[in-house]
Amino acid sequence: MSAKINKTTTGPNIPKDHPRYTAMMIRESIIKGCETKVVAPAGLIAQGRGEAFDYIIGEKTEKFSLAAIEAAACAFLLAEYPVISVNGNIAQIAAKDLVKLSKESGAPLEINLFYRTPGREEAILKVLKEAGAKTVLGVSGNSSVIKELASDRRIVDPNGILKADMVFVPLEDGDRTEALVKIGKKVVTVDLNPLSRTPRKAHVSIIDNITRVLPLLTAKIKSYKKKKKEELKSIYDSYDNKKVLKDSLVFMSERLLKLSTESGV
């Protein structure tokens, strides 16, 4: 892993030469986020599920992720009004990179939570502001609802997700992804688990760790700004999400098979 993580933890002393140092730091950061209310208890479980798939992938960005990142960059640049949906886990482990993505793409950040416990929105807002965010949507009390959804995630900002034509929703739940697609939004997600409903319902699914994806996506948007709209459209149109999901599963199966036949395993 090469991504830089906000080291907010005072947890166990993980030696820098630990082979899984970055992954351990992310885990510690998520635990710390639970103490400050930024991360919901269910976020710990989501983190564990993500870690398991990252282990199988080998904690590296693979081709299927790069292909989806290219399509995602096109989706950002082709959208009239793209919005970045932020939940607790992402704010905790990637706040600075979210702010950079927002600045490069011009897409505002909107806090959108499944678990709306008192003080949580404020805690996430604080983390984003400390990371340099100027405006953050979804916190003004000025809200609308997506009627297709039953959970608290139906509450959205009328100046954000509600009017967006493209929504970037990393680490999302399947129901909400489905609802966003149903009401006509273009949906781009990041999820380490290609079997979860979210990447199966989204238009573009980046099967990779959010901490590795954000810097790559921001850089891709920066370089693609030089491209003409037609070229962006042609890259986007040639993208095949089903193939990317299939490639990620084939990659995982082959990697497991290879590991299982190596000596000593």
Nearer to ligand ATP, 121 or 173 (CB): 173
b (16+ CB within 10 A) / e for 25-59: bbbbbbbbbbebbbbbeebbebbeebbebbebbeb
* Residue 210: contacted member of Mg ion, ligand ATP, none (CB under 5 to 8 Å, by partner type): ligand ATP
Pair 42, 114: CB distance under 8 Å:
yes
Cα separation, 195 vs 180, in Å, equals 19
Within 116-175, which residues bind ligand ATP (CB under 6 A)? 171, 173-174
- CA dist 93 and 81 (Å) reads 25
Which of 28, 53, 96, 149 touches ligand ATP (CB under 6 A)? 53
Could you tell me the sign of the dihedral formed by the alpha carbons of 11, 15, 16, 21, in that order? negative
Element (H, E) at 177: helix 174-182
Residue that is written with structure tokens 């890259």 in the block: 235
d(C-alpha 108, C-alpha 83), whole Å: 5
188 binds ligand ATP (CB under 6 A): no
Selection from ligand ATP, Mg ion, none that 167 binds (CB < 5 to 8 A by kind) is none
Q: Which residue is nearest to Mg ion (CB)?
A: 196
Q: Does 177 bind Mg ion (CB under 5 A)?
A: no
- The nearest distance, CB 172 to ligand ATP, in angstroms, is 6
Residue 49, binding choice from ligand ATP, Mg ion, none, Cβ under 5 to 8 Å by partner class: ligand ATP
Rule CB under 6 A: is residue 98 a binding residue for ligand ATP? no
Per-residue x/- marks for ligand ATP, 191-210, CB under 6 A? xxx--xxx----------xx
Query: Judged by CB under 5 A, which of 89, 92, 198, 248 binds Mg ion?
Result: 198
Residues that bind Mg ion (CB under 5 A): 196, 198
